[in-house]
Structure 1
Amino acid sequence: MMNISEIERDALAEAFNVALGAASASFADVVQTEVQMSVPRVELLSREQLNARLCELPAEAGQRRIVTIAQDFAAGQQIQTDAVLLMPQQACLDVVRRMLGEHAQAVQDISELEQDALAEIGNIIINSCMGTLADMLGMEFQGSLPQVDSADVEQLVDQLHPGNATLLAEISMTLKASNVSGMVLFLMNVPSLEQLVRHMRVYFGLGEPAVA
């Protein structure tokens, strides 16, 4: 698996900090309350390491069901990635009900409305994040529509189909009335990750990496 240096990891963390900061502002408008996001912790994980990290997601009343909101993105042939937002199911539903407000009580088929609202959450957070990254990289990403699914923690890795490299940006979101822990995964092959790191080095003026 590809290695990234500490300075490259710091550059990626700063990039995602900016990108997710823009996303939180848009998200706050939707849920109509202040949203604070922690500085993302960025890690490059193998499949086995990813499985271990996913198993650390908090259980809620003994339930370890996780909602995934996923979109595919590509910048030509240079960078291709699956961007996935993961949040515990109950936390997702709490956020959705805040979004729906009084309409949550007025509709009969709330499950379909929740599905649409979850897709909108992913659309706001992931697309805002990718849009900011695209500006930094000087690229244009083409993205798919968000796909909403859920699975037990133990089934997540098989469901996500990670390749050789998974870039994890772990965040926590704090709403006025509740805390929501979430992860944003970027599932990509090694050539895409190398291109991402190369562009980030250029953006932050880090120069070429030293040759071992």
Structure 2
Amino acid sequence: MSESAIALDELERDALTELVNIGVSRAAVSLRKMVSKQVTLSVPSVEVVTRRTAASLIGQRESETLIAVQQQFEGPFSGRALLIFPESNGLSLVRAIVGDEMAEIEVAEMEDEALAETGNVILNGCLGSMANMLQHTLKMSLPAVRRGDSNLLFEAFGGTSGESFVLFLYINFSVREHDIRGYIAMIMDLPSLEKLKQLIAAFIDRVMTDTE
């Protein structure tokens, strides 16, 4: 199936971008409590693409090894969520979280734990809030940290029966004056993606009704 067949229309994309931004804003509040410093998060764009296109989009932008925090989610729509950073951005994130006063060896020892905890906060905040506003809940697995290039990450975690697609979100945030870029990818099969689109349509209808 082509990407055009499962693409979001303008209204759906606007609604989903709003839902995701509310989710990451709530995640930013949780991160702010964790690091006791100002945290800003934003999702400037949302796209639905194939796994191959998602891997290509990141591969064109990032030449270094990638770090991904991965969690399975289950509910009315199911799949795997990935929070992805270039490796250097991941290290900057850990440094921002644990503080600049720690020695490099201590930062390295805490890296996976800090990334997993941060990924858990962001992914749970984003997906949980999104599902809540769609009047449903999602069950999230424990986070796991993986490393590799974009092809490896998407092939390794996209192996569902049938065709799968990626809800692909660019994400910008800053922690303790560290500017960090990354990506959120929700890998879903076609039935889950179609269910998500139905829930978004119902959300749009509710908003439209409330504003009339």
**2: CA distance, partners of 1:109 / 1:37:** 27
1:55 and 2:66 matched: no
**TM-score under structure 2 length normalisation:** 0.84
CA RMSD of aligned residues (A): 2.3
1:136 and 2:140 matched: no
Paired residue type of 1:21: S
**2: CA distance, partners of 1:189 / 1:153:** 19
**2: CA distance, partners of 1:202 / 1:104:** 49
**2: CA distance, partners of 1:71 / 1:165:** 16
Question: Could you tell me whether the CA contact under 8 Å between 2:94 and 2:107 is conserved in 1?
Answer: no
**1: CA distance, partners of 2:56 / 2:62:** 13
Query: Bigger CA drift: 31-40 or 9-18?
Result: 31-40
1:84 and 2:82 matched: yes
For the residue of structure 2 that corresponds to 1:41, the secondary structure is: strand
Task: Summarize the alignment of residues 112-123 of structure 1 with structure 2, pairs less than 5 Å apart.
Answer: 112-123=109-120
**1: CA distance, partners of 2:140 / 2:79:** 10
Correspondence for 1:65 = 65
- CA-CA distance at 1:161 after TM superposition: 2.2
Task: Label 1:102 to 1:6 Cα distance change in 2 as closer, same or farther (>3 A).
Answer: closer
**1: CA distance, partners of 2:151 / 2:73:** 26
- CA-CA distance at 1:206 after TM superposition: 6.9
1:174 and 2:174 matched: yes
Correspondence for 2:12 = 8
Question: Could you tell me whether the CA contact under 8 Å between 2:158 and 2:164 is conserved in 1?
Answer: no
Question: Could you tell me whether the CA contact under 8 Å between 1:67 and 1:151 is conserved in 2?
Answer: yes
Correspondence for 1:148 = 145
Question: Could you tell me whether the CA contact under 8 Å between 1:130 and 1:141 is conserved in 2?
Answer: yes
Correspondence for 1:189 = 189
For the residue of structure 2 that corresponds to 1:55, the secondary structure is: helix
Paired residue type of 2:169: A
Task: Summarize the alignment of residues 23-62 of structure 1 with structure 2, pairs less than 5 Å apart.
Answer: 23-59=27-63
**TM-score under structure 1 length normalisation:** 0.84
- CA-CA distance at 1:132 after TM superposition: 0.5
Deviations 1:90-110 (A, max 9, x none): 1111221222237833x9665
Question: Could you tell me whether the CA contact under 8 Å between 1:31 and 1:95 is conserved in 2?
Answer: no
The count of residues paired between Structure 1 and Structure 2 equals 200
Paired residue type of 1:33: K
Larger helix proportion, structure 1 or 2?
A: 2
Question: Could you tell me whether the CA contact under 8 Å between 2:95 and 2:107 is conserved in 1?
Answer: no
**1: CA distance, partners of 2:137 / 2:42:** 27
- CA-CA distance at 1:89 after TM superposition: 1.2
Query: Bigger CA drift: 182-191 or 36-45?
Result: 36-45
**2: CA distance, partners of 1:116 / 1:126:** 15
**2: CA distance, partners of 1:43 / 1:89:** 23
Deviations 1:134-177 (A, max 9, x none): 21122121111001011134533323326421111111112342
Question: Could you tell me whether the CA contact under 8 Å between 1:73 and 1:83 is conserved in 2?
Answer: yes
- CA-CA distance at 1:37 after TM superposition: 2.3
